[in-house]
Amino acid sequence: MSSFQQNRRIADRHLESLLRGLVILAIISAFVEGPMVEFGYIGLFLFDLIILFLACTLLLYLPAIDELSLPSDRLFLHLTTIYLLLVVTLPFLGIIVYGHPLEYVVGDIRWLQVYLVGVIALTVYSKHRLCFKSDVVYVFKWVVGIYFSIFLFQLSLFLELYDTSPLLEFWFLNQSTYGELGYHIGRFSGAGSSPSLIGLVALIGILLFFHTYFENRENITFGLLSLVLLIASGQRTAFVATVILITVLFTFHTNALDVALNPKAAVPSIGGISAGFLIAYRLNIGRLQSDSRFDELLVVILNPHKLPQVSGRGPRWEAAISDMSVYYPIGTLANPAHVLDTKTIDSYYVIAFTQGHFLLLLVFLSFIIVAWRTIVKYRYQGRQYAIFAIIFFGPVTILSSMQNFLTSITGKMTLVLAITFMTMMCHKSIGNKEINH
Protein backbone atom coordinates (compact mmCIF):
# COMPACT_ATOMS: atom_id res chain seq x y z
CA MET A 1 0.00 0.00 0.00
CA SER A 2 1.46 3.36 -1.04
CA SER A 3 1.88 6.27 1.36
CA PHE A 4 -0.84 8.13 -0.56
CA GLN A 5 -3.32 5.29 0.01
CA GLN A 6 -2.38 5.13 3.69
CA ASN A 7 -2.89 8.87 4.10
CA ARG A 8 -6.19 8.65 2.23
CA ARG A 9 -7.40 5.86 4.49
CA ILE A 10 -6.41 7.83 7.61
CA ALA A 11 -8.19 10.90 6.24
CA ASP A 12 -11.31 8.82 5.54
CA ARG A 13 -11.35 7.51 9.09
CA HIS A 14 -11.16 11.07 10.43
CA LEU A 15 -13.98 12.11 8.13
CA GLU A 16 -16.07 9.14 9.33
CA SER A 17 -15.52 10.18 12.94
CA LEU A 18 -16.51 13.74 12.06
CA LEU A 19 -19.62 12.54 10.23
CA ARG A 20 -20.57 10.38 13.21
CA GLY A 21 -20.25 13.34 15.57
CA LEU A 22 -22.25 15.61 13.26
CA VAL A 23 -25.02 12.99 12.95
CA ILE A 24 -25.25 12.87 16.75
CA LEU A 25 -25.43 16.69 16.97
CA ALA A 26 -27.99 16.85 14.15
CA ILE A 27 -30.34 14.42 15.92
CA ILE A 28 -30.00 16.27 19.24
CA SER A 29 -30.64 19.67 17.62
CA ALA A 30 -33.65 18.32 15.69
CA PHE A 31 -35.36 17.35 18.95
CA VAL A 32 -34.21 20.29 21.07
CA GLU A 33 -34.71 23.24 18.66
CA GLY A 34 -33.42 26.22 20.71
CA PRO A 35 -33.16 29.89 19.61
CA MET A 36 -34.15 30.76 16.05
CA VAL A 37 -32.64 33.35 13.70
CA GLU A 38 -35.00 34.84 11.12
CA PHE A 39 -34.14 35.74 7.53
CA GLY A 40 -37.35 37.00 5.96
CA TYR A 41 -39.82 34.11 6.08
CA ILE A 42 -37.06 31.57 6.76
CA GLY A 43 -36.32 30.60 10.36
CA LEU A 44 -32.94 28.96 11.01
CA PHE A 45 -31.99 26.83 14.00
CA LEU A 46 -28.70 25.31 15.13
CA PHE A 47 -29.93 22.21 13.28
CA ASP A 48 -29.56 24.03 9.94
CA LEU A 49 -25.94 25.00 10.66
CA ILE A 50 -25.07 21.41 11.60
CA ILE A 51 -26.72 20.10 8.42
CA LEU A 52 -24.58 22.53 6.39
CA PHE A 53 -21.39 21.16 7.98
CA LEU A 54 -22.72 17.62 7.51
CA ALA A 55 -23.31 18.17 3.77
CA CYS A 56 -19.85 19.72 3.26
CA THR A 57 -18.16 16.85 5.11
CA LEU A 58 -20.12 14.31 3.07
CA LEU A 59 -18.81 15.87 -0.17
CA LEU A 60 -15.26 15.29 1.05
CA TYR A 61 -16.12 11.72 2.03
CA LEU A 62 -17.93 10.72 -1.19
CA PRO A 63 -14.90 9.04 -2.86
CA ALA A 64 -14.65 6.61 0.08
CA ILE A 65 -18.25 5.37 -0.26
CA ASP A 66 -18.24 1.98 -1.94
CA GLU A 67 -21.76 0.79 -1.07
CA LEU A 68 -25.08 2.07 0.25
CA SER A 69 -27.35 0.00 2.47
CA LEU A 70 -30.85 -0.50 1.08
CA PRO A 71 -33.76 -2.53 2.49
CA SER A 72 -33.96 -6.05 1.09
CA ASP A 73 -37.77 -5.89 1.35
CA ARG A 74 -38.72 -4.42 -2.03
CA LEU A 75 -42.28 -3.47 -1.08
CA PHE A 76 -41.03 -1.52 1.95
CA LEU A 77 -38.33 0.15 -0.18
CA HIS A 78 -40.77 1.15 -2.93
CA LEU A 79 -43.49 2.53 -0.63
CA THR A 80 -40.95 4.41 1.50
CA THR A 81 -39.45 5.97 -1.62
CA ILE A 82 -42.85 6.93 -3.07
CA TYR A 83 -44.03 8.53 0.18
CA LEU A 84 -40.79 10.45 0.77
CA LEU A 85 -40.81 11.70 -2.84
CA LEU A 86 -44.45 12.80 -2.62
CA VAL A 87 -44.04 14.91 0.52
CA VAL A 88 -41.18 16.80 -1.12
CA THR A 89 -42.61 17.23 -4.65
CA LEU A 90 -46.26 18.08 -3.84
CA PRO A 91 -45.46 21.53 -2.35
CA PHE A 92 -43.45 22.44 -5.48
CA LEU A 93 -46.37 21.30 -7.64
CA GLY A 94 -48.51 23.66 -5.55
CA ILE A 95 -46.39 26.58 -6.77
CA ILE A 96 -47.00 25.53 -10.40
CA VAL A 97 -50.67 24.53 -10.16
CA TYR A 98 -52.04 27.04 -7.62
CA GLY A 99 -49.37 29.73 -7.59
CA HIS A 100 -48.57 29.21 -3.92
CA PRO A 101 -45.79 31.49 -2.61
CA LEU A 102 -42.31 30.03 -2.24
CA GLU A 103 -42.46 30.34 1.55
CA TYR A 104 -45.01 27.48 1.64
CA VAL A 105 -42.31 24.94 0.69
CA VAL A 106 -39.69 25.99 3.26
CA GLY A 107 -40.88 23.54 5.91
CA ASP A 108 -40.98 20.67 3.43
CA ILE A 109 -37.38 21.27 2.31
CA ARG A 110 -36.44 20.06 5.79
CA TRP A 111 -37.36 16.58 4.57
CA LEU A 112 -34.19 16.71 2.47
CA GLN A 113 -32.17 17.64 5.56
CA VAL A 114 -33.37 14.69 7.61
CA TYR A 115 -32.98 12.36 4.59
CA LEU A 116 -29.31 13.37 4.58
CA VAL A 117 -28.95 12.34 8.22
CA GLY A 118 -30.51 8.94 7.52
CA VAL A 119 -28.37 8.26 4.44
CA ILE A 120 -25.15 9.18 6.25
CA ALA A 121 -26.10 7.03 9.24
CA LEU A 122 -26.70 4.03 6.97
CA THR A 123 -23.42 4.61 5.13
CA VAL A 124 -21.01 5.39 7.95
CA TYR A 125 -22.38 3.15 10.69
CA SER A 126 -22.69 0.07 8.46
CA LYS A 127 -19.23 0.41 6.93
CA HIS A 128 -17.30 -0.10 10.17
CA ARG A 129 -19.98 -1.81 12.28
CA LEU A 130 -20.32 1.22 14.52
CA CYS A 131 -23.04 1.06 17.12
CA PHE A 132 -25.87 3.32 15.95
CA LYS A 133 -28.14 2.05 18.71
CA SER A 134 -25.68 3.05 21.43
CA ASP A 135 -25.25 6.48 19.88
CA VAL A 136 -29.03 6.99 19.73
CA VAL A 137 -29.32 6.05 23.43
CA TYR A 138 -26.51 8.54 24.15
CA VAL A 139 -28.34 11.19 22.09
CA PHE A 140 -31.55 10.78 24.06
CA LYS A 141 -29.75 11.08 27.38
CA TRP A 142 -28.78 14.57 26.22
CA VAL A 143 -32.23 15.32 24.78
CA VAL A 144 -34.09 14.24 27.94
CA GLY A 145 -31.53 16.06 30.11
CA ILE A 146 -31.96 19.32 28.16
CA TYR A 147 -35.78 19.06 28.18
CA PHE A 148 -35.78 18.35 31.92
CA SER A 149 -33.47 21.31 32.61
CA ILE A 150 -35.64 23.76 30.66
CA PHE A 151 -38.73 22.27 32.33
CA LEU A 152 -37.19 23.05 35.75
CA PHE A 153 -36.63 26.66 34.68
CA GLN A 154 -40.28 26.88 33.56
CA LEU A 155 -41.49 25.22 36.76
CA SER A 156 -39.47 27.66 38.86
CA LEU A 157 -41.11 30.57 37.07
CA PHE A 158 -44.56 28.94 37.23
CA LEU A 159 -44.26 28.45 41.01
CA GLU A 160 -42.67 31.93 41.40
CA LEU A 161 -39.59 30.45 43.05
CA TYR A 162 -37.03 32.24 40.90
CA ASP A 163 -37.13 34.53 37.86
CA THR A 164 -35.74 32.45 35.00
CA SER A 165 -37.43 34.50 32.28
CA PRO A 166 -34.18 35.94 30.77
CA LEU A 167 -32.86 32.44 30.03
CA LEU A 168 -36.23 31.25 28.68
CA GLU A 169 -36.60 34.37 26.52
CA PHE A 170 -33.22 33.61 24.95
CA TRP A 171 -34.07 29.92 24.48
CA PHE A 172 -37.35 30.70 22.69
CA LEU A 173 -35.93 33.62 20.71
CA ASN A 174 -38.11 34.36 17.66
CA GLN A 175 -40.27 31.29 18.32
CA SER A 176 -44.02 31.05 18.77
CA THR A 177 -44.15 29.47 22.23
CA TYR A 178 -46.80 27.65 24.16
CA GLY A 179 -48.38 30.08 26.65
CA GLU A 180 -45.87 32.29 28.42
CA LEU A 181 -42.30 31.08 27.81
CA GLY A 182 -43.31 27.47 27.31
CA TYR A 183 -45.83 26.95 30.09
CA HIS A 184 -49.52 27.62 30.62
CA ILE A 185 -51.88 26.65 33.46
CA GLY A 186 -49.82 23.68 34.55
CA ARG A 187 -48.68 22.30 31.17
CA PHE A 188 -45.09 22.69 30.01
CA SER A 189 -43.22 22.47 26.71
CA GLY A 190 -39.71 21.98 28.08
CA ALA A 191 -37.06 22.72 25.44
CA GLY A 192 -39.63 22.48 22.62
CA SER A 193 -42.06 25.10 21.43
CA SER A 194 -45.18 23.07 22.32
CA PRO A 195 -46.36 20.36 24.75
CA SER A 196 -46.60 17.93 21.83
CA LEU A 197 -42.80 17.99 21.45
CA ILE A 198 -42.08 17.34 25.12
CA GLY A 199 -44.73 14.60 24.97
CA LEU A 200 -42.93 12.98 22.03
CA VAL A 201 -39.51 13.21 23.73
CA ALA A 202 -40.98 11.78 26.93
CA LEU A 203 -42.63 8.91 25.05
CA ILE A 204 -39.46 7.97 23.16
CA GLY A 205 -37.40 8.36 26.34
CA ILE A 206 -39.68 6.05 28.35
CA LEU A 207 -39.65 3.40 25.61
CA LEU A 208 -35.91 3.67 24.98
CA PHE A 209 -34.81 3.60 28.62
CA PHE A 210 -37.46 1.00 29.49
CA HIS A 211 -35.80 -1.20 26.87
CA THR A 212 -32.23 -0.57 28.06
CA TYR A 213 -33.25 -1.19 31.66
CA PHE A 214 -34.84 -4.55 30.98
CA GLU A 215 -32.05 -5.44 28.55
CA ASN A 216 -28.99 -4.35 30.55
CA ARG A 217 -30.31 -2.90 33.86
CA GLU A 218 -29.24 0.56 32.70
CA ASN A 219 -30.64 4.11 32.46
CA ILE A 220 -33.55 3.80 34.91
CA THR A 221 -32.89 7.39 36.04
CA PHE A 222 -33.44 8.73 32.52
CA GLY A 223 -36.56 6.59 32.26
CA LEU A 224 -37.99 8.23 35.38
CA LEU A 225 -37.03 11.71 34.13
CA SER A 226 -38.89 10.91 30.90
CA LEU A 227 -41.94 9.94 32.95
CA VAL A 228 -41.82 13.32 34.70
CA LEU A 229 -41.70 15.05 31.31
CA LEU A 230 -44.69 13.01 30.13
CA ILE A 231 -46.73 14.18 33.11
CA ALA A 232 -45.57 17.78 32.60
CA SER A 233 -46.66 17.72 28.97
CA GLY A 234 -50.28 16.87 29.80
CA GLN A 235 -50.41 15.14 26.41
CA ARG A 236 -53.19 12.57 26.60
CA THR A 237 -52.33 11.01 23.24
CA ALA A 238 -48.75 10.47 24.46
CA PHE A 239 -50.10 8.79 27.61
CA VAL A 240 -52.14 6.35 25.51
CA ALA A 241 -49.21 5.73 23.15
CA THR A 242 -46.92 5.00 26.12
CA VAL A 243 -49.25 2.31 27.47
CA ILE A 244 -49.75 0.70 24.05
CA LEU A 245 -46.09 0.68 23.01
CA ILE A 246 -44.74 -0.48 26.38
CA THR A 247 -47.15 -3.40 26.09
CA VAL A 248 -45.74 -4.15 22.63
CA LEU A 249 -42.15 -3.95 23.90
CA PHE A 250 -42.98 -6.37 26.72
CA THR A 251 -43.40 -9.07 24.08
CA PHE A 252 -39.72 -8.66 23.18
CA HIS A 253 -38.53 -9.04 26.79
CA THR A 254 -39.21 -12.49 28.19
CA ASN A 255 -37.54 -11.51 31.48
CA ALA A 256 -39.34 -8.17 31.85
CA LEU A 257 -41.83 -9.40 34.46
CA ASP A 258 -39.11 -10.96 36.62
CA VAL A 259 -37.05 -7.76 36.50
CA ALA A 260 -40.08 -5.58 37.26
CA LEU A 261 -41.07 -7.70 40.27
CA ASN A 262 -37.57 -7.76 41.74
CA PRO A 263 -37.98 -6.03 45.15
CA LYS A 264 -34.66 -4.19 44.80
CA ALA A 265 -35.96 -2.46 41.70
CA ALA A 266 -39.73 -2.55 42.20
CA VAL A 267 -39.96 -0.94 45.66
CA PRO A 268 -37.85 2.18 44.93
CA SER A 269 -39.42 2.58 41.48
CA ILE A 270 -43.02 2.30 42.72
CA GLY A 271 -42.26 4.57 45.65
CA GLY A 272 -40.60 7.18 43.46
CA ILE A 273 -43.33 7.09 40.82
CA SER A 274 -46.09 7.33 43.45
CA ALA A 275 -44.41 10.28 45.19
CA GLY A 276 -43.86 11.96 41.83
CA PHE A 277 -47.52 11.59 40.82
CA LEU A 278 -48.63 12.96 44.21
CA ILE A 279 -46.39 16.01 43.89
CA ALA A 280 -47.48 16.56 40.28
CA TYR A 281 -51.15 16.32 41.29
CA ARG A 282 -50.74 18.74 44.19
CA LEU A 283 -48.98 21.29 41.97
CA ASN A 284 -51.33 20.56 39.04
CA ILE A 285 -48.36 19.80 36.79
CA GLY A 286 -49.68 18.56 33.47
CA ARG A 287 -53.12 19.83 34.54
CA LEU A 288 -53.79 16.57 36.35
CA GLN A 289 -56.68 18.14 38.24
CA SER A 290 -57.91 20.65 35.63
CA ASP A 291 -60.69 20.55 33.05
CA SER A 292 -61.45 16.83 33.57
CA ARG A 293 -58.73 16.15 30.98
CA PHE A 294 -57.86 12.71 32.27
CA ASP A 295 -61.49 11.79 32.93
CA GLU A 296 -62.00 12.49 29.25
CA LEU A 297 -58.98 10.32 28.47
CA LEU A 298 -60.64 7.40 30.27
CA VAL A 299 -63.81 7.98 28.24
CA VAL A 300 -61.78 7.82 25.01
CA ILE A 301 -60.00 4.61 26.07
CA LEU A 302 -63.35 2.94 26.80
CA ASN A 303 -65.12 4.50 23.79
CA PRO A 304 -62.60 5.17 21.00
CA HIS A 305 -65.32 6.35 18.59
CA LYS A 306 -65.83 9.42 20.84
CA LEU A 307 -62.25 10.63 20.32
CA PRO A 308 -63.01 13.45 17.82
CA GLN A 309 -65.84 14.83 20.00
CA VAL A 310 -63.97 14.61 23.31
CA SER A 311 -60.78 16.12 21.90
CA GLY A 312 -62.64 18.92 20.15
CA ARG A 313 -60.81 18.13 16.92
CA GLY A 314 -63.78 16.76 14.97
CA PRO A 315 -65.15 20.16 13.82
CA ARG A 316 -61.64 21.31 12.84
CA TRP A 317 -61.07 18.20 10.73
CA GLU A 318 -64.47 18.60 9.04
CA ALA A 319 -63.82 22.29 8.30
CA ALA A 320 -60.40 21.58 6.76
CA ILE A 321 -61.75 18.74 4.59
CA SER A 322 -64.74 20.84 3.51
CA ASP A 323 -62.57 23.82 2.51
CA MET A 324 -60.20 21.55 0.60
CA SER A 325 -63.08 19.93 -1.30
CA VAL A 326 -64.50 23.30 -2.33
CA TYR A 327 -61.36 25.26 -3.22
CA TYR A 328 -58.67 22.63 -3.91
CA PRO A 329 -60.28 19.55 -5.53
CA ILE A 330 -56.93 17.73 -5.95
CA GLY A 331 -55.69 18.76 -2.51
CA THR A 332 -53.85 21.88 -1.35
CA LEU A 333 -50.50 20.34 -2.43
CA ALA A 334 -48.69 22.62 0.04
CA ASN A 335 -49.10 22.21 3.79
CA PRO A 336 -52.83 22.90 4.37
CA ALA A 337 -51.98 24.78 7.56
CA HIS A 338 -50.54 27.50 5.28
CA VAL A 339 -53.23 27.35 2.60
CA LEU A 340 -56.57 26.83 4.36
CA ASP A 341 -58.24 29.45 6.52
CA THR A 342 -58.89 27.03 9.38
CA LYS A 343 -57.67 26.52 12.91
CA THR A 344 -54.91 24.04 13.69
CA ILE A 345 -55.89 20.72 12.13
CA ASP A 346 -54.15 18.52 14.74
CA SER A 347 -54.00 15.27 12.80
CA TYR A 348 -51.39 14.33 10.23
CA TYR A 349 -53.80 11.83 8.69
CA VAL A 350 -56.22 14.69 7.95
CA ILE A 351 -53.31 16.86 6.76
CA ALA A 352 -52.25 14.09 4.35
CA PHE A 353 -55.78 13.90 2.95
CA THR A 354 -56.24 17.68 2.58
CA GLN A 355 -52.76 18.11 1.09
CA GLY A 356 -52.69 15.29 -1.46
CA HIS A 357 -56.29 14.05 -1.41
CA PHE A 358 -56.64 10.26 -1.52
CA LEU A 359 -53.24 9.83 -3.21
CA LEU A 360 -51.08 11.02 -0.31
CA LEU A 361 -53.37 9.55 2.36
CA LEU A 362 -53.46 6.09 0.74
CA VAL A 363 -49.70 6.10 0.16
CA PHE A 364 -49.08 7.13 3.78
CA LEU A 365 -51.46 4.49 5.15
CA SER A 366 -49.96 1.84 2.88
CA PHE A 367 -46.47 2.85 3.98
CA ILE A 368 -47.48 2.51 7.66
CA ILE A 369 -49.02 -0.94 7.12
CA VAL A 370 -46.04 -2.21 5.12
CA ALA A 371 -43.57 -0.77 7.65
CA TRP A 372 -45.26 -2.64 10.51
CA ARG A 373 -45.36 -5.76 8.35
CA THR A 374 -41.61 -5.37 7.79
CA ILE A 375 -40.96 -5.08 11.54
CA VAL A 376 -43.02 -8.22 12.22
CA LYS A 377 -41.46 -10.11 9.32
CA TYR A 378 -37.84 -9.48 10.34
CA ARG A 379 -38.28 -9.23 14.11
CA TYR A 380 -36.52 -12.53 14.85
CA GLN A 381 -33.67 -11.99 12.39
CA GLY A 382 -32.99 -8.49 13.71
CA ARG A 383 -34.53 -8.29 17.20
CA GLN A 384 -32.62 -5.21 18.36
CA TYR A 385 -33.36 -3.35 15.12
CA ALA A 386 -37.05 -4.27 15.44
CA ILE A 387 -37.20 -2.90 18.98
CA PHE A 388 -35.60 0.42 18.02
CA ALA A 389 -37.82 0.63 14.94
CA ILE A 390 -40.90 0.22 17.18
CA ILE A 391 -39.59 2.84 19.62
CA PHE A 392 -39.48 5.44 16.84
CA PHE A 393 -42.19 4.25 14.44
CA GLY A 394 -44.80 3.62 17.16
CA PRO A 395 -45.01 7.34 18.03
CA VAL A 396 -45.24 8.24 14.32
CA THR A 397 -48.24 5.93 13.89
CA ILE A 398 -50.14 6.89 17.05
CA LEU A 399 -49.31 10.57 17.61
CA SER A 400 -50.06 11.41 13.98
CA SER A 401 -53.73 10.73 14.74
CA MET A 402 -54.07 13.77 17.01
CA GLN A 403 -51.11 16.00 16.12
CA ASN A 404 -49.56 17.71 13.10
CA PHE A 405 -46.76 15.28 13.74
CA LEU A 406 -44.78 15.14 10.51
CA THR A 407 -44.86 18.89 9.81
CA SER A 408 -42.07 19.60 12.35
CA ILE A 409 -38.32 18.91 12.18
CA THR A 410 -38.72 16.66 15.21
CA GLY A 411 -41.47 14.56 13.63
CA LYS A 412 -39.55 14.21 10.37
CA MET A 413 -36.40 13.13 12.22
CA THR A 414 -38.37 10.59 14.26
CA LEU A 415 -39.70 8.99 11.07
CA VAL A 416 -36.27 8.93 9.40
CA LEU A 417 -34.71 7.29 12.47
CA ALA A 418 -37.44 4.63 12.34
CA ILE A 419 -36.79 4.02 8.63
CA THR A 420 -33.04 3.86 9.31
CA PHE A 421 -33.48 1.11 11.90
CA MET A 422 -35.90 -0.79 9.64
CA THR A 423 -33.37 -0.60 6.80
CA MET A 424 -30.60 -1.91 9.06
CA MET A 425 -32.94 -4.70 10.14
CA CYS A 426 -33.72 -5.73 6.53
CA HIS A 427 -30.13 -5.32 5.42
CA LYS A 428 -28.86 -7.64 8.13
CA SER A 429 -31.45 -10.29 7.29
CA ILE A 430 -30.18 -10.98 3.74
CA GLY A 431 -26.56 -11.54 4.73
CA ASN A 432 -24.89 -8.45 3.23
CA LYS A 433 -22.08 -6.87 5.17
CA GLU A 434 -23.41 -7.47 8.64
CA ILE A 435 -24.14 -4.57 10.92
CA ASN A 436 -23.21 -6.14 14.22
CA HIS A 437 -24.21 -3.88 17.07
Q: Are 417 and 27 in contact (CB under 8 A)?
A: yes
The residues near 409 (Cβ < 8 Å, ≥ 6 apart) are: 30, 33, 45, 47, 110, 113, 114
The C-alpha atoms of residue 85 and residue 81 are separated, in whole angstroms, by: 6
Model pLDDT, residue 65: 78
SS3 per residue for 102-137: HHHHHHHHHHHHHHHHHHHHHHHHHHCCCCHHHHHH
pLDDT at 91: 94
Collect contacts of 87-95 with beta carbons under 8 A, ≥24 apart: 87/111, 87/360, 87/406, 88/112, 90/331, 90/333, 90/334, 90/355, 90/356, 90/360, 91/333, 91/334, 91/335, 93/333, 94/332, 94/333, 94/334, 94/339, 95/334
- Residues 154/164, Cβ–Cβ less than 8 Å: yes
Say if CB 202 and CB 227 are below 8 A apart. yes
Q: Per mean pLDDT, which range of 20-29, 55-64, 273-282, 377-386 is the poorest?
A: 273-282
Q: How far apart are CA 114 and CA 27, in angstroms?
A: 9
**pLDDT recorded at residue 347:** 86
Strand partners, 43: 38
How far from 42 is each of 37, 39, 59, 140, 274, CA to CA, in Å? 8, 5, 25, 28, 45
What pLDDT, in 10s, does the model give residues 333-380? 998 988 888 767 888 999 999 999 899 999 999 999 999 999 988 887
Q: Cβ distance 332 to 341 under 8 Å?
A: no
CA distance 13 to 18: 9
Q: Quick check: 436 pLDDT over 50?
A: no
With 80 as the cut, is the pLDDT of residue 264 above it? no
pLDDT at position 343: 66
Q: Per-residue pLDDT for 413 more than 90?
A: yes
Global pTM value = 0.86
Q: What is the H or E stretch that residue 333 is in? A: none
CA 143/CA 149 separation, integer angstroms: 10
Look at 234 and 266; give whichever has higher pLDDT.
234
Task: Please state the rounded mean pLDDT for residues 92-111.
Answer: 90
pLDDT at 298: 55
Higher-scoring residue by pLDDT: 12, 30: 30
Higher pLDDT, 366 or 314: 366
- pLDDT exceeds cutoff 50 at 261: no
Indicate whether 183 pLDDT > 80: no
CA end-to-end span of the chain? 30
Q: Is the pLDDT of residue 282 over 60?
A: no
Asked if the model's pLDDT at residue 432 lies above 50, the reply is no
Better-predicted residue by pLDDT, 154 or 65: 154
Contacts of 410 (CB under 8 A, 6+ apart): 30, 31, 33, 192, 197, 200
**pLDDT averaged over every residue in the chain:** 81
The pLDDT score that the predictor gives to residue 429 is: 35
pLDDT value at 141 more than 90: yes
pLDDT at 148: 95
Flag the least confident range among 43-47, 148-152, 302-306, 323-327.
302-306
CA distance 297 to 311: 9
